[in-house]
Amino acid sequence: MPRSAGSRSERPRNGQRLRLTGGEPGELAIRALGLRKAYRSNWTLRETVGLESLDLELKRGQVLGYLGPNGAGKTTTLKLLAGLIKPTSGQAWLFGDSIEDPSSRRHLGFLPEQPYFYDYLNGLEYLRLAGQLSGLPGHESHEQARHWLGRVGLGSRPGLRLRKYSKGMLQRLGLAAALVHRPRLLILDEPMSGLDPFGRRDVRDLILEQKAAGVTVLFSSHILPDVELLCDRVAMLSGGRLARLASVDQLLLDAAHRVEIACRVSPRAELPGAWRESVKLVRRGRGASLVLGDEDMVGDVLTWLLRGGAQITSVTPQRASLEALLLSATEGVSSETERRSA
């Protein structure tokens, strides 16, 4: 059984595999060990690795954000877990059932990045079909189809053919189809894609609602404010490898915290030479702005400013954004992958 990662963030060291959270098998919604997917060209026979030796554990009821640049391996992972493609090597389980077993998907709701729709159906017919394919009896699938069509904001025109739906409407319908059979695990590939701000808000509310009901959610996204708002934990991928994982709070806590000090009247003296690597001073007319790379320096810098005749107007802490953390975590892995491929 993999060792618990606890509440601390982790980085790979000396080829170690990473795991999300520890726990007994009964506590886990997702478990993957050494999961790998490679594609071989029929023409050149050259192998391309989509996912490399992924170890992953996700407890029931958690929301995990899956982040990374295009081609990082996010969609490959989600398709493997959903049983749409088979791993080259390694194993994975959903609620203790191997992904090789079709029964592992009986509690799964899945929204692919580019879902396919039968455009001659209307929204109600499509959700009723999705419910029946997921094992709901006819009457229950009809009731759930009506409920979820309204819940995603499409209930006012249940007879509208899907060929007349906008991209945002189809995205909402796809999410409703993933939820119509009341799954215990949601795997969503870019669920906010194509949605306007109101649609994004509705999807966020739905994910939070499912989390409150104890549903486990794994979703990929490029919309980082949504990830920060929704997720318990974040996994960052690059080049098919897990680059970093942690709780959102831990990620931001571990990040370097900067402080900006604004002055109405600029200090008369120049910065001490020992500070020039960690303090940036920009003079603007009579005023100035100082950015401190180390928040422990605030007291010393304020004392120096006051002695130099500066008039201080604000002291503002600045934390690193999730975007900056993602770029920092994945750049090193991308460089290493490129060196291995060269």
Residue 75 falls in which region: left (phi positive, over 0), alpha (psi -120 to 50) or beta = alpha
What is the predicted pLDDT for the residue at 243?
85
- More confident position, 154 or 331: 154
What is the predicted pLDDT for the residue at 170?
94
What is the predicted pLDDT for the residue at 219?
95
pLDDT, tens digit, 9 for 90 and up, residues 43-89: 888 888 999 999 999 999 999 999 988 888 999 999 999 999 999 99
Give the Cα separation of 173 and 169 in Å (integer): 6
Mean pLDDT (whole number) for 219-237:
88
Q: What rounded mean pLDDT belongs to the chain? A: 85
pLDDT, tens digit, 9 for 90 and up, residues 13-39: 433 444 444 445 568 999 999 999 998
Give the Cα separation of 294 and 311 in Å (integer): 21
pLDDT, tens digit, 9 for 90 and up, residues 289-318: 998 888 888 999 999 999 889 999 999 877
Domains in the chain, please, with CATH?
1-11+18-107+184-196+209-252+325-342 (3.40.50.300), 256-318 (3.30.70)
| Confidence band for 2, pLDDT divided at 50, 70 and 90 | very low
The whole-model pTM stands at 0.74
For residue 226, the Cα-to-chain-centroid distance in whole angstroms is 9
